[in-house]
Structure 1
Amino acid sequence: MNFRRRIQSEEPEINLIPLIDILLVILIFLAATTSFTRFQQLSVTLPQAGAQAIDPNPLRLAINKDGLFALGANLIADTSTQGLTNALNNAAGNQAEPVLLINADAQTAHENVVKAMEAARLAGIQRVNFATQQ
């Protein structure tokens, strides 16, 4: 009879390094395959426009949805920024502080409105207003 005590075998241990490697691979896979959605349409609430008294004789610049510009009753042929600047300078004449009132169509591109604002800046017009509907 064998009365010797058995040598207890070591407890099984869990090796965490392969587990961490697998989790990192899964994390990289998820980061690479995630598709970030962009909002195609935002719900925007525009601020209300309050009517303020402006100068009685502002320069009126109209912009339609096709990108045509009209200063007063005259259609502007050169719609570049420099052409708009020249037209604004001619219309302002010798006014000390001219005021520009931009009437932009709701369907016009922002590019055209920014072009009009840039032309006003180049022409030295510091007071620019936008016409709104109530």
Structure 2
Amino acid sequence: MWRTRLHRRRKGERGSFSEDDYIAFLDQAHQRLQAPIVLIWDNLNTHVSHRMHALIDARPWLTVVRLPSYAPDLTPAGGAWRWMKRGLTNIAAHGVGHLADLVRHRLRACQQQTDILARFFADTGMTLDPELP
């Protein structure tokens, strides 16, 4: 549906999406879906620019919900990091390699405990079941 531009970080070349790139993507998604779109956005500079506000206002089928500036409780990754840090407290690592091993071990433990992963989502109020609101 959408092909991203390859950015090679050449001098003077933009390294991220512009307002035009985002709007072109949303316009194509709307055409393909033939339905209104609700977009949940953070406060990236291109998401909150005056130009982007005007582009959004010109599309009645597009609803944008903005996340607060800092909202770790709204992302499952916030719970994962809290869990990770709790498991590493009161441990004296013998160096960077030892610390990396401890983190890898903790991440493997997390992957094998699906109830923990589900809790990270539940803590945000989100559900893993696409049928539920």
TM-score higher than 0.5? no
Which is bigger in relative contact order (C-alpha 8 A, separation at least 6)?
A: 1
Q: Which has the higher helix share?
A: 2
Q: TM-score by structure 2 length?
A: 0.29
Rg (Cα) greater in structure: 1
Structure 1 or 2: larger strand share? Answer: 1
Q: TM-score, normalised by structure 1?
A: 0.29
